[in-house]
């Protein structure tokens, strides 16, 4: 099996060329009851790009990426993922969910299944792979995230960092075109955040398209191709990390950064 440290193995053999848009969001609006959570969001993500979304809590970051795979329903605007528009169409929803992986703050591993079963469940049921193929791929990705020896344990027996790495492997095994990360390190003890971030850094280096909501500014600076700053349901500023961390345009961005840096 390939060694993560050496030349990165492509995650998908048929990975399309980078550069073209894979996520396109236009005029997105969402309300919770009367509360306007997302306001006129326009954002596009290119293939192979790593977009980091930052902002104060309650700014709508999580809601935004949960709209991308329709865990939340949007009321206005247009979301297109890999050429498929997200509508009420069941087929479109299913297809988009197949092609996007998601990693949650609270891991959300299935506690009644072993690590291996957690990972192979969706490939066998959704992609209809043979059990043997699914297991082979599962072991490949477990190795990639650095915990090949835990395959037969239950999630409850693993540490938080290990659980989150299993969750990443679980998403990757579905061979998604986009990975969505919803504050993947916020529920972790400080000493294990590093191991999860390392997995994400490697993933980015291998060319995975990623949308990451996080508070880890180091990650944003090092890995992000673009940084999106959100506040009060709006995108306030978008830019490269250098621009963003050294010379932000907007006053709100500056005040936010001054508080957390």
Partner 1 sequence: MIQPRPAPVKAHGFRFWLRKNLFNGPFNTVLTFVAAVVVAWSLYNLATFIFVEGSWGQVWRNMRLFGVYRYPPEYLWRPLLALGIMLGLMGVMAGAGGRKSIVAGAFLPIQGFVAVVSVVAILFWPSVRFLWPGALALGFLGYFIGSRWPRSIKYLPWGWGVWLVVGYLLLSGLTTGGTLGKVPVRDWGGFLLTLILFTGIIPSFPIGIALALGRNSKLPAIKYFCIGFIEVVRGAPLIMWLFIASLLLPLILNVDANSLPAIMRAYVAITLFSAAYMAENVRGGLQAVPRGQGEAARALGLSAWQTTLLIVLPQALRAVIPAIVGQAIGLFKDTSLVFIVGLVDFFKVGDIVSVQPEALLVTGGVKLEVFLFIAVIYFFFAYRMSIASRQLEKRLGVGER
Partner 2 sequence: MQPGKPNVSASTAVVPFWRNVKIIGVIAQFVFVIALVAGVGILVNNVVTALAKANLPADFSFLGKPAGIPIAERAIPYQVTDTYARALLIGFLNTLKVAIVGVVLATVIGVLMGVMRLSSNWLVRTMASVYVEVLRNIPLAVQIVFWYSAVLLPFPPRISDPIALPGGLIMSNVGLAFPFLYPTYRFAVWVPYLVAAAVLAGVAWWWRRRTLAKADRVGSVWPFPVVTFLVVAGMGLGLSYVGRSVPSDLTFTFEADRGRGTTAFVVDGKSRPAAFVPVTIEIEKASLTVSSQNLVESRQDVRGSVRFPLMRENEADAFEFAFADAEAAEERGLQLSFDKYPSVATIYVDRNGNGRFDAGEDVDPATNRGYGGVDVVMTVTNFRRTLVSDRDGQVRTPTFKHADDVAAAAVEESAAPRAGTRFSAFGQAATATVSESALSAKTAIQPVGALVLSRAYVPVSNYEGGMRLTVNYLALLLALVVYTSAFIAEIVRGGILAVPKGQREAARAIGLSGTQTFSLIIFPQAMRIVLPPMISQYLNLTKNSSLASLAGYAELFVIASVVSNQTGAAIPIALLLIGSYLVISLAFSLVLNQVNARLALVER
The least CB distance from residue 56 to partner 1, in Å, is 23
The least CB distance from residue 95 to partner 2, in Å, is 10
Q: Can residue 87 be called a binding residue for partner 2 (CB under 8 A)?
A: yes
Distance CA 229, CA 239 (A): 9
Give the single-character DSSP code of 15: P
Window of 21-29, 47-55, 123-131, 237-245 that interacts with partner 1 by CB under 8 A: 123-131
Distance CA 72, CA 215 (A): 22
Provide long-range contacts, Cβ within 8 A and 24+ apart, for 16-20. 16/47, 16/177, 17/47, 18/46, 18/47, 18/48, 18/49, 18/207, 19/46, 19/47, 19/48, 20/46, 20/47
Q: Can residue 121 be called a binding residue for partner 2 (CB under 8 A)?
A: no
Window of 7-15, 18-26, 105-113, 221-229 that interacts with partner 1 by CB under 8 A: 105-113
> What residues between 132 and 191 interact with partner 1 by CB under 8 A?
156, 167, 170-171, 174
Window of 78-86, 119-127, 172-180, 195-203 that interacts with partner 2 by CB under 8 A: 78-86
Distance CA 164, CA 107 (A): 5
Nearer to partner 1, 109 or 227 (CB): 109
Nearer to partner 1, 127 or 221 (CB): 127
């Amino acid at each position: 099996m390939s060694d993560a440290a050496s030349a990165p193995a492509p995650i998908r053999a048929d990975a399309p060329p980078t550069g073209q848009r894979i996520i396109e969001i236009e005029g997105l609006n969402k309300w919770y009851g009367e509360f306007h959570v997302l306001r006129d969001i326009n954002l596009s993500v290119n293939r192979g790009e790593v977009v980091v979304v930052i902002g104060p809590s309650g700014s709508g970051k999580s809601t935004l990426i949960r709209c991308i795979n329709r865990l939340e329903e949007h009321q206005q605007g247009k979301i297109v993922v890999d050429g498929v528009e997200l509508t009420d169409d069941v087929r479109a929803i299913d297809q988009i969910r197949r092609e996007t992986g998601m990693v949650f703050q609270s891991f959300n591993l299935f506690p009644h299944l072993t690590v291996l079963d957690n990972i192979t469940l969706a490939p066998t049921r959704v992609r209809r792979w043979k059990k043997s193929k699914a297991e082979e791929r599962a072991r490949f990705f477990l190795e990639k995230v650095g915990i090949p020896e835990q395959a037969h344990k239950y999630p409850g027996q693993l540490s938080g960092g290990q659980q989150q790495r299993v969750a990443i492997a679980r998403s990757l095994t579905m061979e998604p075109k986009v990975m969505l990360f919803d504050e993947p390190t916020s529920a972790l003890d400080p000493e294990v955040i590093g191991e999860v971030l390392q997995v994400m850094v490697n993933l980015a280096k291998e060319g995975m398209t990623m949308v990451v909501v996080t508070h880890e500014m180091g990650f944003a600076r090092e890995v992000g191709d673009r940084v999106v700053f959100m506040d009060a349901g709006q995108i306030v500023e978008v830019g490269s990390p250098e621009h963003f961390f050294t010379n932000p345009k907007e006053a709100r961005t500056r005040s936010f950064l001054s508080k957390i840096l």
